[in-house]
Each structure stands twice: as C-alpha cells, then as structure tokens.
Chains A and B, each alone.
Chain A
Amino acid sequence: MILLCGIPSETSLRLVHDEVCRLGAPSLLLNQRWVAEVRMDCEIVNGHVGGCLAVRGSDYPLDAFDGVLIRMMDDRELPEVKADPALLGHSRALHDALYHWCQIVPGRVLNRPDAMASNGSKPYQAQLIAAQGIGVPATLVTTDPNEVLAFRSEWGRVVYKSVSGARSVVRELGDDDLDRLDDIRWCPVQFQQHVEGEDVRVHVIGEEVFATAISSGATDYRYAAREGGDPAALRPLDLPDELAGRCVRLTAALGLGFSGIDLRLTPDGEAVCFEVNPSPAFSYYEANTGQPIAAAVARYLADTSLRATSGRPLTGAR
C-alpha cells in the first residue's frame, strides 16, 4: 500500500495521487490538514517496525505501507494548528513520529529524511557531487573581501547565493555590491563562477530520467518574470546516455530515490551541476513539457505493492 503525505491541493502531490489511482495501486492520501483526526502509534520489536496509523476513524497497520511519498509543509504553519494552539503539541508529536518512521520503514520512501539532508549545505553537497565525477562550479565561501575580489578577477562574472538550504535568489556580484563587501566579515558568504550555458533540470526517479532544457536570460530562471524578463521557456531534452547514467548514479549515491538535478550544459559540452534537490516541485516542468514525471513517481512507489498483487514488476520508460 502507498502512503502519500501532504496537502492534496499541492500540484505535485495531486498529480502523483492521480497516477497511483490510475495504476490501481492501493493507497492512502494523508491530508496534513486532518492533523486533529490522525493518530500514529509505532512500535519496534526486535528490529521489526510495526504499529498503527489511525486516520479519521480508520486504522491502517504501519507494516502494510511499502511505498511512501512525503511532501509535507511545516506543520506549525497549518491553518488548523494556528487556529487552535492546543493542537500544536499533538501535531508536533505526530509529525515527529511520521518523520522518524519514514527513516526506518522498509520499502520505498521518497525521500528518506537523512538522504534529503545533504541539500542543507550546498558546498558540502557539491563535494559529494564532484566525488561522483560530475563537474561543479568553482566556489568560494569566505569572510575575506580581498579573496572575493581576487575570485572575481579570476572568473570575470561571479554570482552569490546562500550556503544553506534556505531558499535564496541567485544574484550576480555587481560593482554596486562591492560597497557592502565588508559585511561578509560577519558570516561566510558563498560566491560561484558564473557558468555560461543552458539550464537543464534532470528529474531522476529510480533509473528513469527526464531532462528539461530551460531557456531564460535571467541569472536565476525561477525568477525570470519577477526580474522583468520573459518567462523561461521549457522543452524536453534527450541527455546523452553517459550523462543520464551519471545522474542516476549520483541520485543513488546520495541515498535518494527521486531527485531534481540542476545542471548547466556549457557551450563546449560540459555538464556543471549546481545542486541536487531532494524534494523537487516537478509539476512546473511536467505542465510545461508534458513529461510524465508523476507517472514515473507513481510507478516507482507502486512497484512493490503491485508486484505483491500481480507477481511481476512494473516496467518503465528509460
């Protein structure tokens, strides 16, 4: 049975739920907003993870779930919790138990919490990416303004962005920014060489690969319209087999079953990787290209459930 956790109106979750239903795989869509009507009781005995998930009066044995997709929002921001502060303690305990259960439950989990953590430090993740033989941009994280000036002289165009997983808009370091460069003495700041080329988002689900090319004049294509430019244009892209294979191996090496890899393909044919997103909001890419990413996620999650029912594995695209 597949457990889908999150807010059902969130597009990516809704698309996967639709595809799971289309496959006919048994599933439970756990709406986070039902928090007051959900109980979880997990017990580990001699390494076996058992227990019960009670949702709106129905009980589900935890060991019945062999596929899990987690796309949960911060439970403290749930309208139900904000409206009823007495619910906060229950909500915290429930989400804590769900989170830790996702780490230990056998089966396929997209993605396990520990594997999602590498994205919390971008230069750390860059070291893991480089170890898998994929290029990363030259990066400097420093508190020394003189090092930044030398780095800029070396690379010409330089961008800066957050070191942590905190969402930030990538900006190019301009002459105006130099006036406040001394501020970096208070906390290390990350600078990167600007890499010329075309942005490519690669979604990897198990061994299936969907690459999307993005054309945009903005430094950060996600914010192209906000910065006054044309919206980004997306199209499906066939990656060379060798590069697709590297993306699959990188995803597996990070312990992920599902990833959103941000690449830039340079004019001389090199692939440079900026980061690997462990909880990609893929619906934007699917809506703009028709690539069946949600269907692949559903197949991946349903593989064990349907194999148990039909005795044969599901086949997928590349």
Chain B
Amino acid sequence: MWLVLCDDHDLAAQWAFLGLAERGLAPLELVTSGALAHARRWVHRVTTGGAHVEVTLHDGRTFDSRRVRGALNRLVGVYNAGTFAAAAGDREYATQEFYAFLVSSLHCLPGSVLNPPGYLGLSGRCRHESEWAVLAASAGLPTTPYRMPAPPVPPLAGRPARRSVVVLGDLVFGVPDAAGLRDGCRRLAALAGTELLGVDLEVDDAGGWRFAAATPQPDLRLGGTPFLEALAARLRQ
C-alpha cells in the first residue's frame, strides 16, 4: 500500500495522487489532515525492535504502517478534533501532545517517504531564511545578502521575477538553462536532507538567476508528467 498524506486543500498533492494512480501504484490511498484529525482510533507502539502505528479513520478505513510500502507526505499541520472544545490551557497542552504523537507515528512509516517527518516539520524540516541562505551558498547557488533581524518585505511590485524549481533526489524539474543551477539545486536538496524540495530562483540585477527561497512542500504540478513518472518510480523503490 502507498499513501498520499496531505492537507485537505492541497491541490498539488491531489494532482499527484491521481497521477500516481494512473501509473498503477496500487493500492493507493489519499489521507487528508481532516481525516486524521477525526480519526476514531490510534494505536502506536515503540520497542527496541521497531515501531508501528495503526489508525482507524472516521469513514472506517484502517491503516497499519506495517503494510505501507511508501508515501508522498505533504502534511503541514493536523489539529486534533478531540480536544477542540477543551479549556485554553488544556487545549495548548493537548495540541502539543498530538503534534508530538504525529511526528512519531509518521516517522515509523517504512519504505520511501517523501518527505519524512521530524519535530521541525511533519513533511520535511522547516528552515529559517538564514539557514537557507547559508545552505544555498554552500551548495554553490548565487545568493543575495540576508540580514537578521530582517528588514520589512518590499511590496510585491518591487520584487524581481521568480521561477520555482522542483527537486526530487538527483532530478531537477523546471530549472532555467543556466550554468550550475541544476547542480546547485541538487546539492541544496542533499545538504538540506530533503529529497523532495522546491527551490525559488529570482532574477538578479545582471539578468542571471540567484537563490531566493526553498520549501519541503513545493507545487508538484510544476514538474508535470516527467515529475510524476519519476515520483512513481521513486515510491516503488
């Protein structure tokens, strides 16, 4: 079984789900953050020998991580419907507890998981702009100076043109034809330990491309059909 885990309104993930189904990945299940929020039953076990999780959703579907072969994981946040009505102090504690529980539950998914969770991100580590600036320079991408505390963001009209690139392991989709960019994006994903990465490039004053931003939750649709083929192959590994 393969899973596509995503927020309820993640159109890119739903596009990928349909594309993966067309490419014969079966059984394939779409599980949204809303479905997880209303799950009827969770059982998560951790021992020295391994870990697994079983979940029964409100619609009766049940999943056992031991039967999962891979997942496209795009979850950003999941609220817990069970504690929605709790008093303020209790609700904050329960929210923290549920997030910690999800990190551990998702971590025990076996096979290819793009991207795996950590405490700093349910589907790949969220990094501050300063970290991305250092990593991008280390990857060999041209960067613009970054200041902390950051100055106010300029209005949209004043910002340079951007292009978004999708990296999947060694493959880069939508990259402009310029020396070093493809390798730089690939190295950035490797340095970040984020196999599925979106990289935003912007035009510099000389008309070249430089690093602008990165995200573990890119708009997958930018990669088109070649990306879906590569994703299906990667999840089958």
Contacts and interface: CB of A to CB of B under 8 A. Distances in A.
A125 to B, nearest CB: 8
Interface in B79-106: 80, 82-83, 86, 93-94, 96-101, 103-105
Given A103-B130, A118-B119, A123 B96 contact: no
B57 interface: no
B96 A166 contact: yes
A42 B131 CA distance: 12
A290 interface: no
Interface stretch (B27-35, B146-154, B164-172): B146-154
A117 interface: yes
Interface stretch (A70-78, A140-148, A196-204, A303-311): A140-148
Interface residues of B, number: 47
B107 A127 contact: yes
A126 interface: yes
B145 A45 contact: yes
Given A123-B44, A186-B82, A96 B149 contact: yes
Interface in A223-267: none
Contact of B97 (A46, A103, A166): A166
A125 B150 CA distance: 33
A117 B41 contact: no
B47 interface: yes
A188 B145 contact: no
A302 to B, nearest CB: 25
Contact of A130 (B48, B83, B103): B48
B104 A124 contact: yes
Given A100-B131, A121-B100, A143 B47 contact: no
Contacts of B138: 47
Contact of B128 (A100, A123, A164, A188): A100
A136 B104 contact: no
A142 B44 contact: yes
A280 interface: no
A136 B118 contact: no
Interface string A16-53: 00000000000000000000000011111111010100
A142 B134 contact: no
B45 interface: yes
Contacts of A103: 128, 130-131
Contact of A127 (B42, B98, B108): B108
B125 interface: yes
A47 B142 CA distance: 10
B146 A44 contact: yes
B44 A187 contact: no
A93 interface: yes
Given A47-B133, A126-B46, A139-B47, 8 more contacts: A118-B118, A120-B103, A120-B119, A123-B104, A140-B43, A141-B46, A186-B94, A187-B94
Please name the 9 residue pairs, one residue from A and one from B, whose CB atoms are nearest each other, closest first.
Answer: A47-B137, A164-B100, A121-B100, A123-B104, A124-B104, A186-B82, A117-B119, A42-B148, A139-B46
Interface of B: 39, 41-51, 80, 82-83, 86, 93-94, 96-101, 103-105, 107-108, 118-120, 125, 128, 130-131, 133-134, 136-138, 143, 145-149
29 contacts: A40-B148, A44-B134, A44-B137, A45-B145, A47-B138, A94-B149, A96-B148, A104-B131, A114-B125, A121-B119, A122-B104, A123-B44, A123-B46, A126-B46, A126-B51, A130-B46, A138-B47, A139-B46, A140-B45, A141-B105, A143-B39, A143-B42, A163-B100, A163-B104, A164-B97, A185-B82, A187-B82, A187-B94, A188-B97
